[in-house]
Amino acid sequence: MGKRAPAVEASASWLVSPAHDLAFYSGLSVTGALLVLALGQVFEPSQLFLWFNLVLTVGHYAPTWMRAFLDKEELRTHQVSILGFPLLFAAVIFVTRGRPEVLAFIIYFWDRFHAVMQNYGFLRLYDAKAGARSRGYVELTLLFASAVLVMSFNMGLLAPMLNVLRTLAVPVPTTVGLVWGLRAVAGTVTLGALALYVRAQRGFAREGHFSLGKQVFLGALTGGYLVMNSTTNIFLLSAHEKLYHSVQYVVLVWHYNRRRVAQAAPADVTAPMRFLFRARGPWLYGLGVAAFVVLVAFLFQRFGLSTGGAGEGFAFTTVGSGVALTHYYFDSFLWRVRREQVRVNL
């Protein structure tokens, strides 16, 4: 008989600790779903979503800018991407002027993609912590296929997407056969990816790199979406995603930057970054995020929440879209798990 591989250490199964991960990473998907459904009985869903967007979504944009501009090494490494993207966005605005639905389309689908990629990033981080050599293709396929599967069975998600496509003059038939065909394809791919995922995890277990935290995260994530599937209200569904996605991100950046400041050379991080992420606790960081939210709330109050047209309202909406897209784009390279700096500080 071959020698049995040693089990992965308990500390390597979790990004921080079992209690922390369950509270802020894994379990938040389920507890957040229950909270949103309960609040949806008290507050009007569209207003609840609006406030979640203002406080949570806007709040979790701030840490992205902190990482991009306060970490000198990140700015040096990705200088072209960080400084060039605003120019690219301005070009897109110019080309699509008079067609605000084009920008709405880009944001809608990039937001969906961005949310799935954060979940994928967490799975890869758990693997890295446990020392598992995973390329991630199976996890990525599983997450995207299961997301499409859930959407195909929930018309509260599917109908808005089809409406957006029709607005852009994309021919989308509304037949029962189309919907069931989408379900069949997504279901088949999901089951196939799940079988490959289970096989890979058994291999990691034999090698001593099985991550319990990863399995809990994936199970809780699935559980949260299943709980939310009890409603077709698009505002509640979106509020749930904003809640768990944003809190996860804000907490993750705190831990990352805290370790980054502790280990980085003085020339690699700025003085404001060292000040915000000191060992005394996340209070200064939290105040920084809150100040960013207050600033945006003031601008909303000053210029209004216009979604189109001319004048200051449209200008501010354009700027708001730019901030959102900048967050999506910056995250696409700031959090690549294959980068040693990302793995070391998480």
Q: At 35, which amino acid appears?
A: L
Token digits of residue 49? 């979503």
- What whole-number distance in Å separates Cα of residue 118 and Cα of residue 10? 24
- Helix, strand, coil % in the chain, rounded to nearest 5: 80, 0, 20
Find out whether 245 and 118 touch, Cβ atoms under 8 Å: yes
Report CA 57 to chain centroid distance, whole Å.
Answer: 10
Taking only the tens place, the pLDDT of each residue in 136-171 is 899 999 999 998 888 888 777 777 767 766 666 666
Taking only the tens place, the pLDDT of each residue in 215-274 is 999 999 999 999 998 888 889 998 999 999 999 999 999 999 998 888 888 888 899 898
* pLDDT score of 176: 65
Find out whether 2 and 9 touch, Cβ atoms under 8 Å: no
Token digits of residue 316? 């501010």
> Is the model more confident about 188 or about 265?
188
92 φψ region: left (φ > 0), alpha (ψ -120 to 50), beta (else): alpha
Taking only the tens place, the pLDDT of each residue in 26-47 is 999 999 999 999 999 999 999 9
- What whole-number distance in Å separates Cα of residue 201 and Cα of residue 86? 41
Read off φ and ψ for residue 157, nearest 5 degrees: -95, -40
Bridge partners (DSSP) listed for residue 71: 269
* pLDDT score of 43: 93
Read off φ and ψ for residue 239, nearest 5 degrees: -65, -40
- The DSSP secondary-structure symbol of 71 reads B
CA distances from 12 to 17, 30, 194, 198, 240 (A): 9, 23, 23, 20, 29
Q: What is the pTM of this model?
A: 0.85
Residues belonging to the chain: 346
Domain locations in the chain? 10-344
